[in-house]
Structure 1
Amino acid sequence: MRSSVETFDIASGETRVVWQTERLVEAPNWSPDGKSLIINGDGRLYRLAFDGSDPTEIDTGFARQCNNDHGISPDGKTLAISDKTEFGKSAIYLLPAEGGTPRLVTRNLPSYWHGWSPDGQTLTYCGIRDQVFDIYTISIDGGEEWRLTHGEGRNDGPDWSPDRAWIYFNSSRTGRMQIWRVRPDGRDVQRITDSPYGDWFPHPSPDGRHLLVLSYDGEVFDHPRDLDVRLRLMDPQGGNGRVLLELFGGQGTMNVPNWSPKGDEFAFVRYRPV
């Protein structure tokens, strides 16, 4: 399988290939300074510049089984990772963005990171407790986690709105996976999409104007790789939105926040059989 890391320009509708490889790489984050992407592959994290060079590995210390749930703090100083090396289940750690020793944040496992609050003080993530998938938040200093959903279907893929008013997530509580949002204190749960697709991984743009969603065919429940999917752009308040791209992808295409700092582009991974 060939992985093609690409960007999409909202205004022009054009895609640009940043880097291609016959390795499996996933889930690009755009750095807050706009200079590079972070991707994962083979349990490692890599920094990928836009100059055509190969990516460079980020030192993650003992964490050598990183998955595709990772992201950079709003100030660009800290990297959140999800790794299972220490416990055999995914745990969330923080480390310096340039690399270093990870510090454990979540003690309840498994936990899969998905978003930073705009002030950089709180993380949101998917936690599986007694085989129930729900949305949680926790301080960057650790401590008690705050549960936002309570087993109403499968809940996953949370990400913050730039004004910190909402946490968007996908949920199967009405049958098909759709996009919902909830206040950070767990109040006022609202459904955002009512589409014929299976909608996953909502990412609000940094300027608050758009919501980017990955959509499977409606009969697909989970988020597998190697399927035809759509990247759809919609109003954060809801609605039908529009299809920007149709591509071969799914798991790994855009699991985590992937907008450019200005909100005019986003990064994604397209897969091609070799």
Structure 2
Amino acid sequence: MKSAITISILILCFQFALYSQQINNMISYLEIVDIEDSKRTVVYSDTAHFEAPNWSPDGNTLYFNQDGHIYSIPITRGVPTKIEMDFAVNNNNDHVLSPGGTEIAISHHCEDQNWESLIYIVDIHGGIPRKITENGPSYLHGWSPDGKELAFIGLRNDQYDIYTISVNGGEEKQLTNSPSHEDGSDYTPCGKYIWFNSDRSGNMQLWRMRRDGSNPEQMTDDDWVDWFPHPSPDGQWIAFLSYQPGVEGHPANKDVVLRIMPANGGTPHILTELFGGQGTINVPSWSPCSKKFAFVSYKLL
């Protein structure tokens, strides 16, 4: 048994070392794609590894995470600006702007809680974050359109489920209870549904349920491996990330596609192909006009 554990640890160390080497030998591209003609525009690129763009409600700014910090950059290009968040210097790619764009909710790994990810809210210009979730790990994915609650993925009792919690903190509400893997929860702009991805039917596919967790229904059913559905602000479309059949989890550095489908269901079509995966669109990335979508792609050197 000890030998098997040692081998497993060595494999994990090798995989982490390989990933670390890759992210230190790549170019990251912050891009925008037009949903009508699939034309892509690069807003910013760097040899630094960055992830997961949010789009400000006024349409002027993109926000992304890099090296544990959150940065902003004008949509017209320029130099990124780091948002100072006091102790929150270990942020992952699960961050979401408030409906009004005045605050940002972050998922920060806390040293005093065994480096688990907990959710905080902070002013969009920076400041001292206030804690929302007491239990971890908690990975943020959605902010309700009425501004009252957050939807997140919580690892509780050895399974990943979807929870909601008030923006003022307090008791978390469990919406799913399944041994399957649930992830990528995001609200529709009307607030009626929460979209998410789940492998409860076998392959990782897209689902939606009522805001209270009732009436789950499967929305995609094909060979692709689907993650991170994001409803457009006008309520017409769902954009999401798809891996090739057979891919497990949502790994980085893969040939993937961004797909789009009608919000009421229908056949998805490919919006664009890219090299990416983990970090490409973990968070809501639509432009306020619902005509463009922001994402991150990568190129290995």
TM score, norm. by length of structure 1: 0.98
2:215 paired residue number: 188
Aligned length: 274
Alignment pair present for 1:57 and 2:82: yes
Letter in 2 for 1:257: P
Alignment of 1:120-135 (within 5 A): 120-135=147-162
Q: Which residue of 1 aligns with 2:137?
A: 110
What does 1:3-42 correspond to in 2, within 5 Å?
3-42=28-67
What is the CA RMSD across the aligned residues, in angstroms? 0.9
Divergent runs of 4+, >3 A: none
Write the mapping of 1:102-181 to structure 2, written as runs, cut at 5 A. 102-181=129-208
Cα separation, 2, equivalents of 1:221 and 1:169: 17
1:263 aligns with 2:263: no
Preserved contact between residue 195 and residue 240 of structure 1 (Cα < 8 Å) = no
Unpaired segments ≥5 residues, structure 2: 1-25
Shift of 1:130: 2.2
CA distance in 1, matches of 2:178, 2:143: 23
Residue equivalent to 1:199: 226
2:119 paired with 1:92? yes
Q: Give the corresponding residue for 2:4.
A: none
Q: Which residue of 2 aligns with 1:273?
A: 300
1:240 Cα deviation after fit = 2.2
Question: How much has 1:152 moved relative to structure 2?
Answer: 4.2
Contact kept, 8 Å, 2:229 with 2:238, in 1: the verdict is: yes
Does the CA-based 8 Å contact 1:157-1:170 persist in structure 2? yes
Q: Is the CA contact 1:34–1:260 (under 8 Å) kept in the aligned structure 2?
A: yes
SS in 2 for 1:142: coil
The code of the aligned residue for 2:78 comes to S
1:60-75 to 2 correspondence within 5 Å?
A: 60-75=85-100
Match of 1:227 in 2: 254
Q: TM-score, normalised by structure 2?
A: 0.89
Shift of 1:217: 1.0
Contact 1:135 1:148 (C-alpha < 8 Å) held by counterparts: yes
Could you tell me which runs of 5 or more consecutive residues in structure 1 were left unpaired when the two chains were aligned.
none
Cα deviations across residues 123-158 of structure 1 (Å, max 9, x unaligned)? 001000122000010000111111111024100010
Contact 2:238 2:261 in 1 (8 A): yes
Looking at structure 1, the residues matched to 153 and 273 of structure 2 have their Cα atoms a distance apart, in angstroms, of 27
What is residue 275 of structure 2 aligned with on the other side?
248
Aligned residue number for residue 242 of structure 2: 215
* Contact 1:176–1:221 (CA under 8 A) maintained in structure 2: no
For residue 195 of structure 1, report the CA deviation from its aligned partner. Answer: 1.5
**% same residue:** 49
Q: 1:62 touches 1:85 (CA, 8 Å); kept in 2?
A: no
Distance 1:236 1:152 in 2: 27
Shift of 1:12: 2.9
Give the match's secondary structure for 1:144: coil
Give the letter for the 1:54 counterpart.
V
Contact 2:38 2:272 in 1 (8 A): no
Higher helix share: 2
Task: State the distance in 2 between where 1:180 and 1:13 align.
Answer: 25
The CA distance in 1 between the partners of 2:76 and 2:34, in whole Å, is 17
